[in-house]
A and B are shown apart, each in its own frame.
Chain A
Amino acid sequence: AQKITQTQPGMFVQEKEAVTLDCTYDTSDPSYGLFWYKQPSSGEMIFLIYQGSYDQQNATEGRYSLNFQKARKSANLVISASQLGDSAMYFCAMSSDYKLSFGAGTTVTVRA
């Protein structure tokens, strides 16, 4: 069984500052993928970044980077230079057998 844990229900961040969203996971599968999605109030799920369990380097996509620490089973998302449009719910997810398991989510509010 897989489990994704996001311990931060909500966070506030000042515009232009960086924010780190925590995610830990538990799996016995040797091969898996880790995802972060953004869900604005409209409800759509926007893919942000992906990290494979065998990837040696941390994934980066523009202002998003994933701090992957395999031994600690953590996959934290870092958003640099926060913008007002970053205010949303953020979900960490893990894939196994092509199906996604999601964490509870973290609400990020960016303040001007």
Chain B
Amino acid sequence: SAVISQKPSRDICQRGTSLTIQCQVDSQVTMMFWYRQQPGQSLTLIATANQGSEATYESGFVIDKFPISRPNLTFSTLTVSNMSPEDSSIYLCSVDSTGGQSYNEQFFGPGTRLTVL
């Protein structure tokens, strides 16, 4: 299974600022995904980050608010822009380590716990 790390593990930010979250994988993967988990809620997919092309956003999420970079096959960043207290969540990246060949390999990073004051 892929080993995934995220930075920072947690942060407390002021409203109106932006935070960039990094996701690093120990092997090359085709697909990386970013999820949000609001307090007491389930996980919701924000976007799919593909190397060499723009991220694909899910309904309700826009690039201006959550810009994503995917410079290579082992790394991605998610920026939470112009933050408000409603953005307080756990943000998780996940990877499909099979290159889209199978459904059975979806692993998550440890998450970034964000609090916006």
Chain A residues close to B by CB (< 8 Å): 31-33, 35, 37, 42-45, 47, 50, 52, 91, 93, 95, 98-105
Instruction: Identify B103's interface contact among A37, A44, A50, A103, CB under 8 A.
Output: A50
By a CB distance below 8 angstroms, the chain A residues around B94 are 45, 100
Say yes or no: A52 contacts B107, CB within 8 Å: no
Q: Which residue of B lies closest to A59 (CB)?
A: B104
Alpha-carbon distance between A32 and B103 when the two chains are bound, in angstroms:
7
Alpha-carbon distance between A44 and B110 when the two chains are bound, in angstroms:
5
Say yes or no: B45 contacts A100, CB within 8 Å: yes
Say yes or no: A45 contacts B111, CB within 8 Å: yes
**Given A33-B103, A101-B45, 7 extra CB contacts under 8 A:** A31-B103, A43-B111, A47-B1, A95-B106, A98-B48, A99-B33, A99-B45
Say yes or no: A43 contacts B90, CB within 8 Å: yes
Chain B residues close to A by CB (< 8 Å): 1, 31, 33, 35, 37, 41-45, 48, 90, 92, 94, 96, 100, 103-104, 106-111, 113
Instruction: Identify A47's interface contact among B41, B45, B107, CB under 8 A.
Output: B107
By a CB distance below 8 angstroms, the chain B residues around A45 are 43, 92, 94, 108, 111
By a CB distance below 8 angstroms, the chain B residues around A104 are 41-42
User: Can you list 19 pairs linking A and B with CB atoms under 8 Å apart?
Assistant: A32-B103, A33-B103, A33-B104, A35-B106, A43-B90, A43-B110, A44-B111, A45-B94, A47-B106, A52-B103, A91-B42, A93-B43, A99-B45, A100-B43, A100-B94, A102-B43, A103-B42, A104-B41, A105-B42
Say yes or no: A91 contacts B43, CB within 8 Å: yes
Task: Determine the main DSSP class of A at the interface with B.
Answer: strand
Shortest Cβ distance from residue B113 to the other chain A in the assembled complex, whole angstroms: 6
By a CB distance below 8 angstroms, the chain B residues around A44 are 108-111
